[in-house]
Amino acid sequence: MTVYKPLASLFLLVSIPCSLHAQSQTPAPSPKVFGYANFAAQAKIEEKFLSVPDAKLAGQHLKILTAEPHLAATPEDHRTAEYVAQKFRAAGLDTQIVPYRVLLNQPRVVRVEAYDAAGKLLMTGPAREHVDNDPGQDNPRVVMPFNGSSGSGDVTGEVVYANYGRLEDFNELAAQHIDLHGKIVIARYGSNFRGVKVYLAEQRGAIGVLIYSDPQDDGYYKGDAYPVGPWRPETGVQRGSVQYLFKYAGDPETPGVASTLDLPDSARIKNFVGPDGNRPGIISIPLSYHDAAPILQALKGPGVPQEGWQGALPFRYHLGPGGVKVHLVSEQDYQRRVIWDVIGTIKGSTYPDEWVVAGNHRDAWVYGAVDPSSGTAAMLESVHGIGALLEQGWRPKRTIVFCSWDAEEQGLVGSTEWVEEHAQALERAVAYFNVDVAVSGPDFSASAVPSLKEFVRDVTRAVSSPLGGTVYEGWRLRQHGSDGEHRADNSMLNAPLSGEEVSVGDLGSGSDFTPFLQHVGVPSTDVSSGGPYGVYHSTFDDFAWYTQNADPHFAYLQQMARVLGLEALRMADADVLPFDYVTYSREISAYIEAAMKKAQDAGLGSLDFAPAEAAAGRMANAARKMQAKELAASGDLVRLNQALRQTEAGFISSAGLPDRPWYRHTIYAPGEFTGYSAVVVPGVNEAIDAHNRDLAAAQLTVLTQALDRATRALDSAN
Ligand SMILES: [Zn+2]
């Protein structure tokens, strides 16, 4: 699924200095590396590993994985599971295909008709996705455009345009006294998670939602459309899940419980539809701009606000209602279907119960060349590299687990069910490393919990970039520019940075790190290499698009294989877990300060933030003491590592967030109104947003207790 990010690549057009091109060799690893008492021996292992991932082989994996559409729970999906399992086994991993039975929809009928005020037919759709000369588009196994988790039904109504379907957009409609009861909302993709658009529309009484791709956001307004360029063509549709993921992830019938094949029906819940559940009760249908244009053009009512509502279609947009009625038919075939995760394990020699987990989903809406097969191709070459070490007799100190998740697109289902099944063992897992949309271009970026931000930078300092120099250097150059001036191209930037350090984003949701971090508290990272990418979740995200636009020589697959594999390798063998709690506590203090300011602005100035601030201060002190011990890397390392791991676990509150107990992390959650991007100290911030003073006060106490648990964990190494 993953985030559709505003592309930082616009800034890559600055030229890279020639000096970088000169150093094309893998740079020598620095002798002093965080987490290692003496890095010399590990440096040799890493060098061997880095020499193995192969661009050509990665390209072959990609070609095979994208040969057929492989929607979750289809025979083609199972074939990709077998391919991945075969490669895992060939590399020496103890490998299992793990099935779960989960509730998923597949579309039987999806139809949209629009009529003008006189009853004249304006359009019927969805039109078939088609461009000149795309080799994959005519395959009968290409699933018709639909939304995962859509309701079924047959409704007719007047239309209202809701821009991006953000909370502020719906507030603007309310301010203009536009009532949504009985209406069909048309909103454009972008800015937030599509499930949020449907959630807000359903809460306001809408009976259906159309979500379309405006050319302003990922079409001709950005550049040439496929097949000339990388952007979305006229008929390209973004499929995607509209599950209320921000309530809980995974199988809607089994929050907190694994949907194993033997799970009895009595263990499944029944009431999960509607705004209080995790699935819309109303119809949602995705559209191309080819299909949306006649509806928007006929729409009457007030003109859209001057700022930020007009898209790139060649006419003035109006809010409605009036001028057009649409008839929606959606027949969704909901069944419990079997999905297949592939799990490959290398048992650790010294700390077998401490797992280092790396994963990527495998299911795709259609061919999924970028999303997710570029991640799978890269991961298979990471595994190839680790396998070469195994062949030479090497064993990791900690257990490494590689995972190929299924049904991520439907709501992080495969990863969530596996995490729920292994929740207890995962209390001792040291890290989860995710990839998803691994390669759509050359622009590296990463998100992580603050304790792993420096770790990710360190790993990228050891991997060469196809542009010359290291991945880290290219990443830094793009963020800061060659003149050393900070560029405002990273919307994730919110942490105080020392000097000109590369900023690493915060983890919200939209991919498989969510159950690991936000349900059970495993420190996580997510990495990707981005570029202009306008075919997300359409049939055109295929091998032909990929080789034309993203990575013709698969050099970036190789790069991402090295980054992901090195994350696993370096974490698995570390003497001391390279967790940076000094940065973490500094970021938490900044979050608390920002929340306090927000409370004051919201007229909740009497809320007492002092205990939480003091707790963050205590954690900062404990973290500084811990850092000195980590750098020394001597003494009782088992105890030290245990303390380091338990610190993140301290942030987990067993009660979970108010109204969404599955989300248990007190520092990070997906925003209820953003879905993808993180809301920090979510219990507190969301209570302030809701102007609920009592709840905010209670959540400040929960936060203070969590910080104190983390501090006790840090202190336990003394
Ligand atoms: Zn994905």
State yes or no: pLDDT of 658 exceeds 80: yes
In sign, the C-alpha dihedral spanning 241, 244, 246, 249 is negative
Distance 323 CA to ligand 1 centre (A): 38
| Res 26: pLDDT | 53
| Res 52: pLDDT | 98
Element (H, E) at 103: strand 94-116
State yes or no: pLDDT of 599 exceeds 70: yes
Q: Is 84 helix (H, G, I), strand (E, B) or coil?
A: helix
State yes or no: pLDDT of 9 exceeds 90: no
What are 155-183's pLDDT values in tens digits? 999 999 999 999 999 999 999 999 999 99
What are 424-434's pLDDT values in tens digits? 999 999 999 99
8 Å CB contact between 224 and 246: no
Confidence class for position 488, pLDDT limits 50, 70, 90: very low
Average pLDDT over residues 126-137: 96
Rounded CA-CA distance 438/559 in Å is 10
Kindly state the tokens that stand for 269: 């819940």
CB contact set of 26 (below 8 Å; sequence gap of 6+): 47, 50, 51, 462, 463, 464
CB contact set of 361 (below 8 Å; sequence gap of 6+): 372, 375, 376, 404, 405, 406, 407, 408, 409, 414, 415, 436, 511, 512
Q: pLDDT above 70 covers what percent of the chain?
A: 93
What are 271-326's pLDDT values in tens digits? 999 998 999 999 999 999 999 999 999 999 999 999 999 999 999 999 999 999 99
What are 370-384's pLDDT values in tens digits? 999 999 999 999 999
| Res 281: pLDDT | 97
Confidence class for position 28, pLDDT limits 50, 70, 90: low
Q: Is 669 helix (H, G, I), strand (E, B) or coil?
A: strand
Confidence class for position 481, pLDDT limits 50, 70, 90: confident
| Res 490: pLDDT | 35
Average pLDDT over residues 443-462: 97
Distance 596 CA to ligand 1 centre (A): 35
CB contact set of 658 (below 8 Å; sequence gap of 6+): 683, 686, 687, 695, 699
Q: Comparing 497 with 441, which gets the higher pLDDT?
A: 441
Confidence class for position 17, pLDDT limits 50, 70, 90: very low
Bridge partners, residue 528, by sequence: 445
Per-chain mean pLDDT for the chain: 93
8 Å CB contact between 523 and 512: no
> How many other CB atoms are there within 10 angstroms of residue 600's CB atom?
14
Question: In this structure, what DSSP letter does residue 11 have?
Answer: G
8 Å CB contact between 376 and 330: no
Distance 330 CA to ligand 1 centre (A): 24
Distance 291 CA to ligand 1 centre (A): 25
Q: Active site includes 409?
A: no
Confidence class for position 499, pLDDT limits 50, 70, 90: low
State yes or no: pLDDT of 397 exceeds 90: yes
Integer angstrom CA distances of residue 454 from 444, 463, 709: 15, 15, 23
Q: Comparing 21 with 361, which gets the higher pLDDT?
A: 361
State yes or no: pLDDT of 471 exceeds 90: yes
CB contact set of 681 (below 8 Å; sequence gap of 6+): 588, 591, 592, 595, 666, 667, 703
What are 252-282's pLDDT values in tens digits? 999 999 999 999 999 999 999 999 899 999 9
Distance 83 CA to ligand 1 centre (A): 19
| Res 8: pLDDT | 30
Q: Return the exposure string of 298-322: e unless at least 16 CB atoms fall within 10 Å of the residue's CB, then b.
A: bbbbeebeeeebbbebeeebbbbbb
Confidence class for position 31, pLDDT limits 50, 70, 90: low
Average pLDDT over residues 130-135: 96
| List 129, 253, 408, 409, catalytic entry | 408
State yes or no: pLDDT of 547 exceeds 70: yes
| Res 676: pLDDT | 75
Residue among 663, 360, 684, 677 at smallest CA distance from 505: 677
CB contact set of 173 (below 8 Å; sequence gap of 6+): 160, 162, 180, 319
Rounded CA-CA distance 212/300 in Å is 18
| Res 451: pLDDT | 97
Helix extents (H) in 282-373: 289-298
What DSSP string describes 422-439?
THHHHTT--EEEEEEEEE
Q: How far is CA 537 from the centre of its chain?
A: 14
| Res 501: pLDDT | 86
Bridge partners, residue 665, by sequence: 652
Rounded CA-CA distance 279/239 in Å is 16
> How many other CB atoms are there within 10 angstroms of residue 636's CB atom?
11
| Res 326: pLDDT | 98
Rounded CA-CA distance 647/71 in Å is 38
Confidence class for position 27, pLDDT limits 50, 70, 90: low
| Res 494: pLDDT | 36
Confidence class for position 508, pLDDT limits 50, 70, 90: confident
Residue among 421, 333, 335, 404 at smallest CA distance from 364: 404
| Res 172: pLDDT | 98
Distance 164 CA to ligand 1 centre (A): 21
Residue among 278, 281, 309 at smallest CA distance from 296: 309
Average pLDDT over residues 431-456: 97
Rounded CA-CA distance 236/213 in Å is 8
| Residues comprising the chain, all counted | 718
8 Å CB contact between 397 and 489: no
How do beta strands 431-439 and 524-530 pair?
parallel
Average pLDDT over residues 576-598: 97
Distance 371 CA to ligand 1 centre (A): 5
In the chain the first and final C-alpha atoms are separated, in Å, by: 43
- The answer to whether the predicted template modeling score (pTM) of the entire model surpasses 0.85 is yes
Outline where DSSP puts E strands in 465-589.
Answer: 524-530
